[in-house]
Amino acid sequence: MRRAVCPGSFDPVTNGHIDIITRAAQLYDEVVVAVVLNPNKTTLFTAAERVELIREATKALDNVSVDRFEGLTVDFCRRNHISAIIKGLRAVSDFDYEMQMAQMNYNQAGVETLFMTTNPLYAFLSSSLVKEFAKFGGDVSGLVPPGVLEKLTTRLNES
């Protein structure tokens, strides 16, 4: 059984993430989307909300599951018998840090990282930009799954 993980903050999940998850699910028997809990980082959505939004957006993908973790991605991999991390690369600017992280993860646990080039349709897209534009009235409807759009609109109206 070949199992891979797509780790991230997913605050919130975007269509760029969904594109990578969908393509990863075509390459691996099982893909686990792992939401990282970073107590030092303020997020718009709780971990439970982020997990639920990803579950809803990936419900048509039978071999994709969603989980959350604290600590190192490689420890999550060890616990779940996962041998590969899949990351989307949007631009060259992503590469330096991602390569360093990939090498560290291999050094520490022998876990491989596979980089997938982002669909050019979403090359500019990030969760931070989605939140920023949505907050100030931008139209992000084509950039996030419908469930995320709904929850984003509600959450931003609350604050």
CA 148 – CA 57 distance, rounded (Å) = 8
Q: What does 89-126 look like in DSSP terms, one character per residue?
A: E-SHHHHHHHHHHHHHHHHHH--EEEEEEPPGGGTT--
Using rule CB under 6 A, residue 126 touches ligand PNS? no
CA 112 – CA 82 distance, rounded (Å) = 10
Using rule CB under 6 A, residue 88 touches ligand PNS? no
Using rule CB under 6 A, residue 114 touches ligand PNS? no
Q: Between 72 and 89, whose beta carbon lies closer to ligand PNS?
A: 72
Question: In the annotation, is 17 catalytic?
Answer: yes
Question: In the annotation, is 55 catalytic?
Answer: no
Q: Between 104 and 114, whose beta carbon lies closer to ligand PNS?
A: 104
CB of 35 to ligand PNS, least distance (A): 8
CA 21 – CA 153 distance, rounded (Å) = 24
- Write the interaction track for ligand PNS spanning residues 13-52; mark x where CB under 6 A is met and - where it is not: -----------------------x----------------
Could you list the active site residues? 17, 41, 90, 127
